[in-house]
A and B are shown apart, each in its own frame.
Chain A
Amino acid sequence: MRALRRLAGAVPPSAPVALAIFLLFALVVPRFATAGNLENVLRIASILAIASCGQAIVLVLGGVEFSFGASAALSSVLAVSALPDVGPVGALAIGVATVAVIGTVNGWLVSRFDLPPFLVTLGALMIASGLAASLAGGLPIDAPPSAAFAWLARGRVAGIPVPIVAAVLVLFGTHVLLRHTRIGRIWCLVGANPVAARLSGLPTRSAVVAGYGTAGLLVGLAAAILTSRVASGQPGLAPNLAFETIAACAIGGIPLAGGQGRAANVLFGVAVIAMLNNAVVLLNLPVAYQQIAIAVVILAAVLLQRDGWPGGLWTRFGRKGARS
């Protein structure tokens, strides 16, 4: 019984919504519920899921990251430029490390100087995208063909595409980090009240640096998979990645005020976005509908999942007093 109740507490309100959308599309949209299509959906969603886990950690810390798209682009350019010299593994390591370093520096600036995360990550966005574009001369750099490099996006492990495996591992890892590790608990406490966390003797500064750094690491992985997929260094790799990850977290039910958030929120938020995108493609609708639908879903999700009037229906009737 206790285990059951804990399970119910772990399921975010976005889960039944995601399920309902899935059932609806399975009935209404032709070719939606086929194995090939679902694999395709998952493969595309996996990159957003990995990056959104990074955003979720930053949101839990009470911050917000706008530099993901730009640092992913810089990582892509650097990785591909280094590919001929250091080989595929080295190149991917450089790509991942680039974003992790940018994230760490952002975290350091935020925690050391108490600057607003929005300001710092906005500055980082400009710096990284400027660097990426000037290094690449404004044009994509083609990567020399490399099977090992392409494996990250196109390979399979036990028949499952590598990005999907990576996304599952990252989601599970984020779940464990946020729920069952000391550092994850400290992130939650710092996000809930930074002053109280400091007075309780918690290492707040290093936790913030570690949080932004971990987020960067995850986004670096997403960028590496993307780079491997497009097989080139793109200064415009994923310009809206930051917005997309914030949207996914918001739909999944992570409040921007900080202190709360789980991997499950990310999972269902990403699922909703991926299914909407896919349905629009399958139905041959203009891409405009997809964007309008996502805008409406974001607003509906935020209104329904917050506490108090007029939203918070779920919190009020579904799980009284439980923590999200």
Chain B
Amino acid sequence: MSPRLLVAPLAILVAAAAFGAAVPGFAAGGNLLNMASQMWVLALLAAGQTFALATRGFDISVGAVAALAGVAAAWAANTLGAVGLALGPVVGFACGMLNGLLIGTLGITPVIATLATLIGVRGIALLVTDDGQAVPLELDAASWVFSGGTALPPADWVALAAVVGAHLVLTRTMVGRRILMLGSNPDAVPLVGLDEARTLRHAYALCGCFAGLAGTLMMLRAGTGLPIEGSGMELQAIAAAVIGGTPLTGGMASVPGSAAGALLVQVLLTGLNTSGISPFVAQSAIGVVIIAAGLVAHGMHGFHLSPRRPRRRQP
């Protein structure tokens, strides 16, 4: 196991211990559960992002895609009932597929392609909601998703299952294997007869699908589909994945790591909030952790004195 995967869990332990000691009630069961249910949106976005990162790319459109998916799911659930919620992930999948086509088939760099998708999807979300009107969800069962059921509400189970599913897809299926191969050596992929464009389409479609699921959960919790929601979450998701030990250089990726990264972000946010420090400081703290994670990776690789290190062309 790569030592970089240990960074996030250790940081979580340290942060949790510190907050647990400093803030009364932080370690209470209710608070922990609350934190867990708050982190799922970010965890799902980060899990999806892991697929894009594994191909040496990334997807900055996931926040916008999640918002559009939330609006679509709310509208579909209002017309079709609970089944309509499935439209969220489907919309996400379609947006991801678009990214995959732009990046894989047309060969546009991920920054530009997903930036264009980000802007375009925001535009579409505004267009379908009459310039940003929220779409209230009129589904009776909606509140049950976050409160009912067993010890863990159903939403948590769904999100947990999705993260486990992402992990299995990455490690146990040919799709995941091809994505890792592409990130490991992109030049070699066509030479062994793998379809590079198709693999990229799969990676970004998976990323979009998880963004759609995250958007649906976000909408269920808020009770409305908000077309301008999710701004800034794309970068937080990438941050969570990188903190979790998935490098930007591809070839290695860990979905549990990304989930741990998301948990760390949530622990910092909740901990600082409950301890009375401005919640905005938490954001700065996440920034410090990102750069620190980069420096740790740098320290592990050592200082590159040899000029013969192959050059990474992207981002």
Q: Which residues of A contact B (CB under 8 A)?
A: 64, 66, 109, 113-120, 122-134, 137-138, 193-195, 198-199, 239, 243, 246-247, 250, 256-257, 286-292, 294-296, 298-299, 302-303, 306, 310
Contacts and interface: CB of A to CB of B under 8 A. Distances in A.
A123 B287 contact: yes
A243 B106 contact: no
Contacts of A257: 109, 313
12 contacts: A115-B291, A116-B294, A118-B248, A126-B290, A193-B311, A239-B232, A286-B126, A286-B131, A287-B123, A291-B122, A299-B102, A302-B109
Given A130-B282, A243-B118, A119 B294 contact: yes
Given A126-B284, A294-B119, A256 B109 contact: yes
B22 interface: no
Interface of B: 58, 60, 102, 106-109, 111-113, 115-120, 122-127, 131, 231-232, 235, 238-239, 242, 248-249, 278, 280-288, 290-291, 294-295, 298, 304, 307, 309, 311-315
Contacts of B295: 113, 115
Question: What does DSSP make chain A's interface, helix, strand, loop or mixed?
Answer: helix
A66 B124 contact: no
Nearest to B292: A123
Contacts of A137: 278
B230 to A, nearest CB: 13
A121 to B, nearest CB: 10
A123 B290 contact: yes
A126 B287 contact: yes
B261 to A, nearest CB: 13
Contacts of A239: 231-232
A299 B108 CA distance: 8
A286 B107 CA distance: 31
Contacts of A134: 278, 280-281, 284
Contacts of A118: 58, 248, 315
Grouping DSSP codes into helix (H, G, I), strand (E, B) and loop, the B interface class, with mixed when no group exceeds half, is helix
Nearest to A193: B311
Contact of B112 (A256, A286, A292): A256
Contacts of A199: 307
A306 B106 CA distance: 11
Nearest to A105: B291
A277 to B, nearest CB: 12
Contacts of B290: 119, 122-123, 126
Given A122-B287, A288-B125, 5 more contacts: A109-B294, A130-B285, A131-B284, A246-B112, A246-B115
B127 A303 contact: no
Contact of B119 (A126, A256, A291): A291
Contacts of B286: 126, 130
> What are the nearest 6 A-B pairs in CB distance?
A126-B287, A291-B123, A295-B120, A130-B284, A130-B283, A127-B287
B283 A133 contact: yes
Given A116-B294, A291-B122, A122 B288 contact: no
Given A114-B304, A134-B278, A286-B131, A303 B108 contact: yes
A287 B131 CA distance: 7
A127 B289 CA distance: 10
Contacts of B109: 256-257, 302
A190 B113 CA distance: 25
Given A194-B311, A246-B111, A298 B119 contact: yes
A247 B108 CA distance: 13
A129 B120 contact: no
B118 A198 contact: no
A114 B298 contact: yes
Nearest to A127: B287
A116 B232 CA distance: 20
B283 A126 contact: yes
A287 B119 CA distance: 11
Contacts of B120: 291-292, 294-296
B291 A109 contact: yes
A102 to B, nearest CB: 11
B123 A290 contact: yes
A123 B123 contact: no
B112 A288 contact: no
B103 to A, nearest CB: 11
A114 B304 CA distance: 8
Contacts of A292: 119-120, 123-124, 127
A298 B242 contact: no
Contact of B315 (A64, A109, A123): A64
A140 to B, nearest CB: 14
B280 to A, nearest CB: 4
A288 to B, nearest CB: 4
B287 A130 contact: yes
A101 B280 CA distance: 21
A295 B116 contact: yes
Nearest to B122: A291
Nearest to A116: B248
B112 A122 contact: no
